[in-house]
Chains A and B, each alone.
Chain A
């Protein structure tokens, strides 16, 4: 009962950010037709996406302007997210990103249908190779935008499609990729995050250097493997003492607050002495 209540805190934060972005997106459309809620932002989805801050950096340094459709708010958000990532790792992915949350919620249906088989459809060898694809997407995205100074990624961006699916300006490929993401979410937990998200690829690198990390206390671990079973990103938690995996989303599912049955064995922490292990 207590564990279930604690787990919900992340869900509340996810719902908060999802609703915030959804309301801003709807409000922008309403404002364009002369309506809208006055106290709520009418910013475009791109203007409040921290990844926009990343892709505009080259433009800022070389020609002193933002990439088309990106503004200073995106750079500010990029700074906030990097600050969080340096402290705690990829909490943005696990707690904030509305597209990640959306996939997670769709995944609950898949979980109900396929039970234990869910999230284990892709053979491990293929899965391992596929996970490098998001670095290719990251490289291509940064290169194409740096070269053109235009936000060409929006044409394939499922985040843009999710929050503007009613708008004519959303490109068909983006809608198709959103549709595929929804479909695959019924079989695999967070497929876009695992295999294609360029921002997750970048933020994932901070898991190696973040101040706080997920740590497993070997001395109290009973090797029940519950941490492995509940990890949405299929990380082999039970065989590591410090989780530096770039796919970890800091969702707390493996911790002693959630699935781990032994108190104080898997935690997000800093500064545990070596001999404690």
Chain B
């Protein structure tokens, strides 16, 4: 049995169409990460997305959709001009937008805002929230705990003069790509990245409390699986570099 060139051309196209079409029909076809945060492990919040899993690559529109928050509210909270809504701003963009603020305002601030706005539990760290965000949370959430109220009072960034509007640009870059201003260890880092950055296996063991897993494993996935705070682990590791 011979196959002529014409038949080969048709066969190649047909096999490609059938192969990819079947994968699409059965839901096996994905060309990008599904931006779906993990859910809480607590039984009473089992079906609720955990804001602590909002990644720096999430666009504001995705955060708004996932956590059912009005986009305008999110933009107002972080002092962003409404005209920037069309620009696919990512949560991590806040770091460059507020780079002159002198305090840390970034993805963690978005996580905290979403959690406190929606009345969900979250681990509070040293990140700051812009004043409008604090005002919105206080107006919207009457059930804030004393600890949360204290946190908001002590972690409010007043004034918007430090906002770098030049940085309100469509990012469009891959979430794994780091810039000079970003820490080496981010949400896309694997354990090999830590080793390449000069951190020893012993140091890693000390921080994660267990021997280092396979070097191709993502640090963030490991923290999620082991119930560790990715932010805390990441900060401790970044401090070693």
| Residues in chain A within 8 A of chain B (CB atoms) | 6-7, 9-10, 12-13, 16, 29, 32-34, 41, 43-44, 47-48, 58-59, 62-63, 65, 67-69, 71-73, 76-77, 79-80, 83-84, 88, 91, 95-96, 146-150, 169, 212, 250, 252, 255, 257-258, 264, 267-271
A41 to B103, alpha carbons, bound, how many Å? Answer: 40
Distance to closest chain A CB from B15 (angstroms): 6
Please count the residue pairs between chain A and chain B whose beta carbons lie under 8 angstroms apart in the complex: 137
**CB-CB < 8 A to A147: which residues of B?**
192, 215-216
Residues B86 and A34 in contact, CB atoms below 8 Å apart: yes
Contact digits for B66-104, partner A, Cβ 8 Å, 1 yes 0 no: 000000000000000000001110000000000000000
Residues B170 and A146 in contact, CB atoms below 8 Å apart: no
Given known pairs A65-B218, A88-B8, the reply for A80 and B190 (CB within 8 Å) is: no
Residues A10 and B5 in contact, CB atoms below 8 Å apart: yes
**CB-CB < 8 A to B170: which residues of A?**
32-34
The listed residue with most B CB atoms (<10 A of its CB), out of A63, A71, A257, is A63
Residues A34 and B8 in contact, CB atoms below 8 Å apart: no
Residues B28 and A149 in contact, CB atoms below 8 Å apart: no
Given known pairs A65-B221, A96-B12, the reply for A83 and B172 (CB within 8 Å) is: no
A88 to B173, alpha carbons, bound, how many Å? Answer: 38
**CB-CB < 8 A to A267: which residues of B?**
2-3
Residues A83 and B5 in contact, CB atoms below 8 Å apart: no
Residues A9 and B6 in contact, CB atoms below 8 Å apart: yes
**CB-CB < 8 A to A88: which residues of B?**
3, 8, 11
A264 to B4, alpha carbons, bound, how many Å? Answer: 11
What's the tally of chain B residues with a CB closer than 8 Å to chain A? 44
A16 to B1, alpha carbons, bound, how many Å? Answer: 27
B210 within 8 A of A: no
Residues A41 and B31 in contact, CB atoms below 8 Å apart: yes
A147 to B214, alpha carbons, bound, how many Å? Answer: 8
A72 to B32, alpha carbons, bound, how many Å? Answer: 9
**CB-CB < 8 A to A58: which residues of B?**
216
B217 within 8 A of A: yes
Which of B11, B16, B172, B174 meets A69, CB within 8 Å?
B174
Distance to closest chain A CB from B115 (angstroms): 26
Distance to closest chain B CB from A261 (angstroms): 17
Residues B30 and A44 in contact, CB atoms below 8 Å apart: no
The 10 nearest A-B residue pairs measured at CB: A149-B216, A32-B172, A43-B31, A80-B19, A149-B190, A47-B31, A148-B192, A76-B23, A269-B2, A72-B30
Contact digits for B211-223, partner A, Cβ 8 Å, 1 yes 0 no: 0011111100100
The listed residue with most B CB atoms (<10 A of its CB), out of A65, A68, A91, is A68
Residues A91 and B12 in contact, CB atoms below 8 Å apart: yes
Residues B214 and A73 in contact, CB atoms below 8 Å apart: no
Residues A48 and B188 in contact, CB atoms below 8 Å apart: no
**CB-CB < 8 A to B2: which residues of A?**
264, 267-269
The listed residue with most B CB atoms (<10 A of its CB), out of A9, A48, A58, A79, is A9
Which of A34, A71, A148 meets B193, CB within 8 Å?
A148
B176 within 8 A of A: yes
B33 within 8 A of A: yes
Distance to closest chain A CB from B13 (angstroms): 7
